[in-house]
Amino acid sequence: MAKRILVVEDNDLNRKLFCDVLRANGYVVEPVADGEGAIPAAKNFIPNLVIMDIQLPHVSGLDVIAAMKRDATLAHVPVLAVTAYAGKGDEERIRDAGAQGYLAKPVSIQPFMAAVRKLLGEAA
């Protein structure tokens, strides 16, 4: 059965790119455009992985990750943070919030897919 990936990204082009690449690699994908919709979508979709932008309107990706980790049904789901925040200490702060993976934008397809496969426990 295909793995399920929730993509939380407010930028339309980035969201479409991530979803298209993931679908082309055989994954079932659910796109979400903002942090407010992320938790309800995750509870409904039950993903194997969440791709999370950090700089989102209304609710930050860090807050969404923290909320996921407090939720019994979502706490086990790995999170790959993909963000333009690439300053000193940002990766540590994002990982402290509960993200298992971190990629700085702009993202290249090969490192993106390698990170996805690693977090899903698949061979690279």
Q: What is the CATH number of the domain that holds 35?
A: 3.40.50.2300
Report the C-alpha dihedral over residues 44, 47, 53, 58, rounded to 10 degrees: 10
Judging by DSSP bridges, how do beta strands 28-32 and 49-52 pair with one another? unpaired
Q: Which structural domain, as residue segments, surrounds residue 26? A: 4-119
Domain tally, the chain: 1
Q: Is residue 94 part of a domain?
A: yes
| pLDDT string in tens for the chain (124-residue length) | 899 999 999 999 999 999 999 999 999 999 999 999 999 999 999 999 999 999 998 899 999 999 999 999 999 999 999 998 777 788 899 999 999 999 999 999 999 999 999 999 997 6
Q: Is residue 34 domain-resident? A: yes
**Does residue 124 lie in a domain region?**
no
pTM of the predicted protein model: 0.96
Is the residue at 75 inside a domain?
yes
Whether residue 60 lies inside any domain: the answer is yes
